[in-house]
Amino acid sequence: MGRQLTRKLGFGSNGAWVASVVAIVCFLSGIAVTAHVGLLVRNELVSQHKQDISMELSEARARLEGEISRTVAHGLGFRAYIAQLEGQPFRPEDYRDIAADLIEKNPSIRSIGLAPENILQAVYPLEPNQAALGLDYRLNASQWPAVEQAMQSRQVVIAGPLELVQGGRALLIRIPVFPALFAGQPLEDRAYWGVATLLLDEESLMASAGISVATGSTNISLVDKGPSGTSSRILFGDRALADLDHVSLPLLLPGGLNWELLGYPEAGWSGNGRQVWITQFVGSVISLVFAVMAFLLISEIFKVRSMALHDPLTGLANRRLLEDRMSQLASMCDRTGVGFEIFYVDLDAFKPVNDNYGHSVGDELLVEVGRRLQKQIRQTDTVARVGGDEFIVLTPGNMRHGEREAFVGRLLERVTQAFEFSGASIDVSASLGSASYPMDATTIDDLLRVADGRMYAHKAKTKQTEKGIPDGELPQTG
C-alpha cells in the first residue's frame, strides 16, 4: 500500500526492477552455460591436440625401439659368432672383420668390446679405446653391476647412457655369452664364457631414429624412469618438459630399460580455436536474446497486472484495488482493533469543463487532481479514482476529530486551487465526505455508502451557500 504510482499504464519502478533482475539472471546464467560449453570445447581441442602429439611420439617411439632392437639383434648375431669359436684360444684378430662389418652396418655402434671371463681383452676399433684393454669388470664398481646382472639373468642388459672419458654419452649393451657344448643344450646348462659389449653413441642413436629435441612444433624429451619407476632422469631433450602438462609414451625396450618419451607443443596446448570463439559468440547472443525476452515478458506481466488494478488515465488505484486494501485493513482491525479512514472527494461542475474546454483538458484536470491528492498523503495511504470525477483517499489508522477536520481542510484547499492550462485559469471546486471504520460502519460497502452520503450532504450545503440560503453548520465530514 501507499506505493507511488506512475501513469505508464501501471508499470512502475517495482515491475521494472523485477524485470531487470530476471533479465540479468537469465543473461548471467546464459553466460555461465556458455563459459562451461566453451570450456568443454576448449578441453576437447586440447585433447585432440594431445592425441596429435601422442601420434607423433608413437612414430618416434617406433623408430627408436626399432633402432635399439636392430642393434641388439646385431649383437646377438655377434654372440652367435663368438660361440662358434668355443674351445679355441682367444685371439682378438679372429673377431676384427666381423666387428668392423657390424660397426659399418650400424653407425650408432661406437665400439665393440670382448671380455672373456669378464676381463676386457679386445676392443674394436682399437683407437682411441686401447687404454681400456685389461679392464677387469669385477673390479670396476660402475660397470660390474650391469655385467653381473647380464651374467646371472643370462639376458641382454642395457645400461646408461654414461658419460664417456673420450667425450659424449653412450649406452652399454651387455650381451652375456654362453656357448653350447652340443646342439640343443639348454641355456641354463651352458657355461659362462664372458661378455660382449656394444657401445651405442646416444646422439647417433637418436639421429638414426629420426628424433631431435624439436620435431616440427613439438619438443621431445627422453626420460629414464629407473627400475622401480620412482625416480627419473632426463636422457635427451629439455628437462623443463617433465614439469609441464606433457604427454608421454613408455618405450618397450630389451634389457630392462624403463624409458619414456615426453612431448609438449612449442607454443603450448592450443585451446583457442575457431570453434571456441564461435561457441562463445553464439552463446552470448543467445543469452542476450533470452535476457531481452525475459525482460519484455516480465514487463508485460506487470503491465497487465497493473492495468487490472489501476486507473489507466491517472495511474491511481482503481476501485478493485481500493476495496482489496480496505478488506486487508478491515481484517487487520479485527486482530489489532486499529481501523482506517476514507475520504470521498467529488469534483463539482466537472461537466462544464469538458463542454467548454474539451475532454483532453478535462482529462488533464483529473490527472492534476490525482497528483494534488497524492502530495497530501503519507506513503502508507492510497489515492484511488473510483468514478469519472470521484476520488477516494484511504488512510490506515483512526484519526481524532480535530485531526480529521485538519486533513479534510488540507485536501479541499489543495484540490480547489485554480487549474492553469494553456494560459487559461479554470476554477476547481470539490465536495468531500469521510467515514471511519469500524465506528461508522462494519462492512466495506456500508462504509463507502456513509462516505458517499456525507460527500453529497457537503455538496448540497455548498449549493445552499452559493444560493444565499443561511446554514450555520459546517460540512458533514464524519
pLDDT digits (tens, 9 = 90+) for 246-263: 888 888 776 667 788 888
What residues form DSSP beta bridges with 432? 345
Which contacts qualify for 398-402: CB closer than 8 Å, 24 or more apart? 398/338, 398/339, 398/340, 398/341, 398/436, 398/439, 399/341, 399/436, 401/478
Say if CB 181 and CB 190 are below 8 A apart.
yes
Q: How far is CA 311 from CA 94, 360, 367, 405, 417, in A?
A: 119, 16, 10, 28, 23
Closest CA to 54 of 215, 249, 241: 249
- pLDDT on residue 474: 43
- pLDDT on residue 463: 82
Phi and psi at 228, nearest 5°, equal: -95, -10
What residues form DSSP beta bridges with 384? 317, 392
- pLDDT on residue 10: 41
Contacts of residue 285, Cβ cutoff 8 Å, sequence gap at least 6: none
- pLDDT on residue 414: 94
Kindly name the residue from 346, 381, 389, 452 that is annotated as catalytic.
389
Active site residue 440: no
User: For the packed helices 319-336 and 444-466, what is the interaxial angle rounded to 10 degrees?
Assistant: 120
pTM (two decimals) = 0.52
Q: How far is CA 40 from CA 31, 265, 281, in A?
A: 14, 20, 15
- pLDDT on residue 231: 62
Residues of the chain short of pLDDT 50, as ranges, are 1-11, 472-478
Say if CB 264 and CB 241 are below 8 A apart.
yes
How far apart CA 235 and CA 201 sit, in angstroms, is: 12
- pLDDT on residue 343: 96
How far apart CA 291 and CA 406 sit, in angstroms, is: 51
Query: Environment class of residue 398 by beta-carbon count within 10 Å: exposed (0-12), middle (13-18) or buried (19+)?
Result: middle
- pLDDT on residue 7: 39
Query: Environment class of residue 261 by beta-carbon count within 10 Å: exposed (0-12), middle (13-18) or buried (19+)?
Result: buried
Say if CB 418 and CB 427 are below 8 A apart.
yes
| Domains of the chain (ranges, CATH numbers) | 88-265 (3.30.450.350), 310-466 (3.30.70.270)
Say if CB 170 and CB 110 are below 8 A apart.
yes
